[in-house]
Amino acid sequence: MNTAVPNEIAQATPSSAAGESLYYEQLARQNLAPLWVSLSRLVPEEPRPTARAYAWRFSDALPYLLEAGERITAEQAERRVLVLENPALQGQSRVTDTLYAGLQLILPGEVAPAHRHTQSALRFAMHGCGAYTAVDGERVSMAPGDFIITPAWTWHDHGNVGDSPVVWLDGLDVPLVSFLHSGFRQQHEDAAQTVHRAEGESLLRYGSGLLRPDDSKTSSSPLFKYSYERTRAALHLIVRQESIDAHRGYEVRYVNPTNGDPALPTIGASMRLLPKSYRTRPYRSTDGAVFVGVEGRLRVTVNGEPFFLGPQDILAVPGWHLHQIEAEDEAVFFSFSDAPVHQKLSLWREDRQ
Ligand code: 1HN
């Protein structure tokens, strides 16, 4: 044979349409894949999240959560939580493509045992009083609207010393950490960690604009609780003194007082206010978000689909979904998203229309 192509390559090279399917089968057997088939999906013209916009009404979820309280104890469950699963990601414990959210119930007298993990967590208190979470040796009490963080690898356990059920929303970077396979977890030897700081110590020490000369900057906030009382007062002051952002409304962000970064390195959170009848301009950004109603009623249109959000209702707003928010009466809502990750990786974009 006087061909320049070696025989084995000539045999493996498709010479006709008939040989084409054989060629692709052979590729798969060699663990090779043709990029020309997947290129446009791998590198889309713009983000196309798998998650879809979806709202959970708190009043619909609460009876199921209370029933869970009859079926299993916090100790048995480790965490008695109903996961908010995005309908486009069923079975994956994801509220958006990169974030986890769930509603956690703790009954009077119960303790959810101490553990720690590399996933970062936030708690947004939703219902009832008398519960606490202990973080890094400090007990932090929860009242509705409070924003509390559990930085990565800090010991945490929860308890309810009141006389009624308490519910909060957990937000974690679980899907992101799963994707990176960077999850570690440890169970504490005791159900509850030893408390060795007074309640309010992290606020006194880090929430007063005071740092020691040798206090170092930390990747998560050393301040564990941002009370709704203070957040609400700050927001109302801003309403009186500042102009509104036409796309996002009045907004305060929960930041790390050591460096001004988001309170958690992977999850950004803020509280926003819209005046009565205010309607934001159409907006989208690459981060996937979760909105939680706090006061008043909102109508949120996401990619043309309307959602109504009253106090404690929860809405998943996937990244790059164009949305407009309208307040029926003066409305306050909490939100969290994966924006800090996008920003650190220079991937974050927004579109203000
Ligand atoms: C977790 O540690 C808590 O500590 C709640 O309350 C929900 C979901 C996934 C992984 C860890 C908690 C969680 C979680």
pLDDT tens by residue, 157-208: 999 999 999 999 999 999 999 999 999 999 999 999 999 999 999 999 999 9
| 79 close to ligand 1 (CB < 6 Angstrom) | yes
| 174 close to ligand 1 (CB < 6 Angstrom) | yes
> How much helix, strand and coil, in percent to the nearest 5, is found in the chain?
25, 30, 45
| Closest protein CA for atom 12 of ligand 1 | 79
Which residue type occupies 88?
A
How does residue 2 score in pLDDT terms, banded at 50, 70 and 90? very low
How does residue 15 score in pLDDT terms, banded at 50, 70 and 90? low
| 81 close to ligand 1 (CB < 6 Angstrom) | yes
| Closest protein CA for atom 9 of ligand 1 | 174
How does residue 277 score in pLDDT terms, banded at 50, 70 and 90? very high
| Closest protein CA for atom 6 of ligand 1 | 79
- Choosing from 170, 182, 184, 186 the residue with most ligand 1 atoms within 8 A of its CB, the one to mutate for a pocket test is 170
Ligand 1 mean position, distance from CA 75 (Å): 13
Reported pTM: 0.94
Q: Tokens 């199921």 sit at which residue?
A: 64
Which residues are registered as beta bridge partners of 232?
none
Neighbouring C-beta atoms of residue 293, cutoff 10 Å: 23
Which residues are registered as beta bridge partners of 352?
283
Residue 236 DSSP SS3: helix
Cβ(221)–Cβ(151) under 8 Å?
Answer: yes
Q: Which CATH class is domain 54-352?
A: mainly beta
Residue 319 DSSP SS3: coil
What is the per-residue burial (b if ≥16 Cβ within 10 Å, else e) of 167-199? bbbbbbbbbbbbeeeeeeeeeeeeebbeeebee
The predicted-structure confidence for 125-152, as pLDDT tens digits, reads as follows 999 999 999 999 999 999 999 999 999 9
Mean pLDDT over 229-241 rounds to 97
